[in-house]
Structure 1
Amino acid sequence: MTIVGLGDEVPSGAVVVVVDVIRAFTTAAVAFERGVTDIVCVPSVQAGRGLRAQHPDRLLVGESHGLRPADYDFGNSPADLAAAELDGRGLIQATSNGTRGLAQYPDPAALLAVAAVNVGATARWIRQHHPAVPYAIVCTGSTAEDRACARHLSALIDGLEPRREDLVAGIEEGAAQHAAAYARKPAADRVDLSRDLPFCREVDRSDFAMVGEIRDGHVRLLKV
């Protein structure tokens, strides 16, 4: 087991789990709950636009510096997607950390996306399908919530019983760090996370893993 940051070296042939709690993979999990068929994760907002030009039936979801690009259908917001009609639709998602992180690992034994909402299901999937394979958990952000989720996931994979309260406390700490960072920005550049944080804190809300299929320039996430 190893817990690393985005850009750090990952062992060859490991199961790679990419973490983004606030908010990319919480958003993705809620989208799957709402009935989306798959989510194509791309490393940049511009790549999302290019892929949508090829697949105009797909909805664009994502953010640039935390804010929804003007031509995107939805921002990187689980609260917005929880209220959307998505059944049977395919998504394209582009975020600064989470989806960009997925694109950096071309040859893993398996590639998964995780947030607190599906951390338990992710651990069960790994233990069932790759019980003897080394794994690397990649924290895409520098704030506390991703590290807390990584520690929780690692303990579950190893057969331990980590405390949910510790994970929630880590998410709260990370949310405070985000809020402090946004408070230093001009008002127009600030992101209000208040509607999204209840989703981000809801540990094991989703009973599925999100497994990636590596394609040319993007990763296709499936609910399994």
Structure 2
Amino acid sequence: MRHLTLIRPALQPIVPRTFARTLITTPPRLLATPSGHTGPQHITPGPPKSPNPLQTGTQDAISAQKYPDYSTGPSAIDKASQLLFLTEIVRGMWVVFEQFFRPPYTIMYPFEKGPLSARFRGEHALRRYPNGEERCIACKLCEAICPAQAITIESEAREDGSRRTTRYAQNQEFSTETREELLYNKEKLLLNGDRAEAEIAANLQSEHYYR
């Protein structure tokens, strides 16, 4: 009796026995418990469902977008009159005509200047006493309290032992044409004080009740 040897091709995949048996056989459980339906299933119709208000509102909104309601808003005659007779342009020109005869709301600065309060503090100035002595004693309080740290004071002793200011540097933002005009030294501060002494004294006199 001869034994036949089965030679498996090299390219044929090796399938596990359990997986091959699952593919070619039917599980006994399915044969033991038949489903009972041999054709398409029939569903018994139930009671009609009430419409969903959310879906109804959404459908109404979609319908409104597709079909706008022309019963509200301006009529076709009003739209045609605005388009043909240019009523919007006439309204704009009427506003311009009214504003043309009103007094101006602005002033021609710098030729005209508005009123300033006596407490207004603008450009810095160094004042003098009536005898011509400088008021600055180099206490350096203004240098210490300056939030921008833009004030620098240098002092030296006098012949009588008192202090006097030798240099007063101030960098204040004003409208100028050159950078050098923004540097406030002692000479410039004294010049500002001499020029505006009368105005400064009048402002201080008007505010002496609050001091």
- TM-score normalised over the length of structure 2: 0.24
Q: Compare the two structures and name the one with the higher strand fraction.
A: 1
Higher-Rg structure is 2
Structure with larger RCO (C-alpha < 8 A, sep 6+): 1
- TM-score normalised over the length of structure 1: 0.23
